[in-house]
Structure 1
Amino acid sequence: MGSVLAVGCGGFIGASLRYLCAEGISKLYTGQLPVATFAINLLGSFFIGFLSQWLALFYPNHRMLRLFMTTGILGGFTTFSTFSLETADLFQKGSAGIACLNVAASAGCCVLGALAGRAFANVTGGMR
């Protein structure tokens, strides 16, 4: 039950942060490309890569902390379902090129973001 509570509390925080970030980004950018979702997923990918590595280095036996931070907060913050819906909407509106760009950029950049996060954790982990 403690694991469910850790994930649920983290999810509340992450989903709330996602909403606030999306609102802020949407006020700055009003173009056709779903930039808010892309930015949130890229940031979340970097941080999940960083935290998974950092927690493994410094807190390898703290499963609840890992669940709270990665599955909870970052799982609630990032949003594959919104990405999927926005991409489907682009296809249905006849913007297949932008939809394909969104898929390629999101997949490629988010994987690179997770790798960069892990690398950054390794570098900063060696500085302690």
Structure 2
Amino acid sequence: MTRFVLICCGGAMGTGARYLLGGLAVRWLGPEFPYGTLIINVLGSFLIGVVQHVGLSTLWLPDTLRVVLAVGVMGGFTTYSSFSYEAIKLIESGSWLAATAYVVLTTLLCLGGCTAGLALGGLLVEGKGGW
């Protein structure tokens, strides 16, 4: 039960961080393109790669902390549902090019972010990149 509560608290922290970063992105970059969700999902993909590699390869992160960070914090921080909604809204507004760019950028950058996170985790753990 304690682990469950910790994961829920991590989710709340991730959600709060998403709200703040998303608001900053709109303020700094404008509301015309969903930059906030793109940045959040790429950053979250990178961070989950680091957390999972380090947590599963070493004793540096206790398993409960790894799960709280990966499932709770990153689960609350990243947002596939918002990504889907924003892509549909771009299509509905006739912005096919922006919608296509958003879907392709999100997919490629999130995969790249996770790959980079796993590589950084490998550097931290073994002094070399590793997937």
Q: What range is the shorter-chain TM-score in?
A: over 0.9
Per the alignment, residue 10 of structure 1 pairs with 10
1:93 aligns with 2:93: yes
Cα separation, 2, equivalents of 1:46 and 1:72: 15
In the TM superposition, what is the alpha-carbon distance from 1:76 to its structure 2 partner? 0.4
Unaligned runs of 5+ in 1: none
Q: Given the two structures, how large is their TM-score scaled by the length of structure 1? A: 0.92
Could you give the per-residue CA deviations for residues 54-81 of structure 1, whole angstroms, max 9, x where no partner exists?
A: 1112238833212210000011000111
Per the alignment, residue 70 of structure 2 pairs with 70
1:1-128 aligned at under 5 Å gives the runs: 1-30=1-30, 32-59=32-59, 62-127=62-127
In the TM superposition, what is the alpha-carbon distance from 1:126 to its structure 2 partner? 2.4
Percent of residue pairs bearing the same amino acid type: 31
Instruction: Look up the SS of the partner of 2:26 in the other structure.
Output: helix
For the Cα contact (< 8 Å) 2:54–2:61, is it kept in 1? no
Q: Given the two structures, how large is their TM-score scaled by the length of structure 2? A: 0.90
Q: Structure 1 pair 61/116, CA: closer, same or farther in 2 (3 Å)?
A: closer
How many residues end up aligned between the 2 structures?
A: 127
Name the aligned partner's letter for residue 44 of structure 2: G
Name the aligned partner's letter for residue 126 of structure 2: G
Instruction: Look up the SS of the partner of 2:33 in the other structure.
Output: coil
Cα separation, 1, equivalents of 2:61 and 2:49: 18
The one of the two structures with greater contact order (alpha-carbon pairs below 8 A, sep at least 6) is 1
Unaligned runs of 5+ in 2: none
Name the aligned partner's letter for residue 23 of structure 2: E
For the Cα contact (< 8 Å) 2:55–2:63, is it kept in 1? no
Cα separation, 2, equivalents of 1:119 and 1:32: 33
